[in-house]
Amino acid sequence: MLRTLFIALISTLAACGQTELERTSAEMLSPIAEPPIARCMNMGSALEAPVEGEWGYTVRYKDLERLKSAGFDSIRLPVKWSAHALETAPYTIDPNLFDRVDEIYGWADALGLKTIVNVHHYNELNEAPDQHEPRVEAIWDQLATHFAGAPPSLIFETINEPHTNMSVARTDALNERLLSRIRQNHPDRWVIWGTAEWGGLDGLEAATPDYDPRLMLTYHEYAPYKFTHQGAPWGNAPRTDVRWGTRRDVSRMLQSLDKAVAVQTRTRMPVFVGEFGVYQGVPVEHRARWVRTLREGMEERGLAWCHWDFAGSLNVYDVDKEAWLPEMKSALLD
């Protein structure tokens, strides 16, 4: 380990100038922190919708109990704050939404689960960043103030899947501003840096975050999209019988994970696979094979993960039958 670090340090020294050197060498010597999450579940389709329940799922205490007793240690709670904040300054967030999020992370904390709260589906930001960056900064100001003093089990994630006009450079700059604002009230809290290009591996590889000992980087893995999203009404992959699982498929998947590990090694910050999953229209045994292969690959590499999702369209739990999909549960945990 030390030898690898030393070699990495020497090659970095050779590649950069004297001023960058001091900062870089301190980072190169920092061990990559143990991520605070191992096995996480996305509570998709709930507060991610404009109004919770509109997309068919409402987060329930008993679901968090189920997740805890199955062996998960964290939940990710996607929240569409932008649908509950004033359109003009000071962009005040509806206090009822804060109450609801407090309730859910309070349940999770009492059960010993960590909760990641993010800013999800801020679609207008991607279309018109000049107009909406001040609003997302004001949203984060309010979140940082509201959650000051919250238990360490609460983790923040800056922004979900920036794309279109949120270029890599623009996403990096926004993340830096959000992080410095968050750090005023939350010097030691774990924060997750949302990456551009729809949160894909390319966006992760292109990001240039400064080192922070309590920062994780994230990306989402849905490749190949024409397999994982075939027939999903919100995607652009038609319903087909595309299958997955040849040796070539598996080796491509594992190569992508190796690229994510390389980002960890380069940045000295943990990489978190914040979403992965297969649309429920795909036969369950095929979904489970993809999910299991990826999950085992992540765990072999020490990457923390969060399945998308619990009871939405890429579900592992059937709310109508009040039962787990056993193949999916096993793919994630056994």
**Min dist. Cβ of residue 160 to ligand GLC (A):** 6
Site string for ligand GLC, 230-259 (x = CB under 6 A): ------------------------------
Are the C-beta atoms of 214 and 190 separated by less than 8 Å?
yes
Which of 35, 275, 289, 310 is the binder for ligand GLC (CB under 6 A)? Answer: 275
- Closest CB to ligand GLC among residues 105, 310: 310
- Closest CB to ligand GLC among residues 100, 163: 163
Asked if residue 44 binds ligand GLC (CB under 6 A), the reply is yes
Which residues, 6+ apart, have CB-to-CB distance to 131 below 8 Å?
A: 124
* Number of shown-chain residues binding ligand GLC (CB under 6 A): 8
Selection from 14, 38, 39 nearest residue 28 by Cα:
14
Asked if residue 274 binds ligand GLC (CB under 6 A), the reply is no
Which residues, 6+ apart, have CB-to-CB distance to 315 below 8 Å?
A: 280, 309, 325, 328
Asked if residue 162 binds ligand GLC (CB under 6 A), the reply is no
Selection from 111, 29, 95, 19 nearest residue 62 by Cα:
111
Cis peptide before 90 (omega within 30 of 0): yes
> What is the Cα–Cα distance from 234 to 237, expressed in whole angstroms?
9
State whether residue 33 is helix, strand or coil: coil
- Closest CB to ligand GLC among residues 82, 267: 82
Q: Which residues between 108 and 127 bind ligand GLC (CB under 6 A)?
A: 121
Asked if residue 200 binds ligand GLC (CB under 6 A), the reply is no
**Min dist. Cβ of residue 168 to ligand GLC (A):** 19
Which of 227, 308, 317, 324 is the binder for ligand GLC (CB under 6 A)? Answer: 308
How do 39-42 and 304-307 pair as beta strands?
parallel
- Closest CB to ligand GLC among residues 221, 327: 221
- Closest CB to ligand GLC among residues 126, 160: 160
The three-state DSSP-derived secondary structure of 186-217 is CCCCCEEECCHHHHCHHHHHHCCCCCCCCEEE
| Interface contacts to ligand GLC, rule CB under 6 A | 44, 48, 121, 160-161, 275, 308, 314
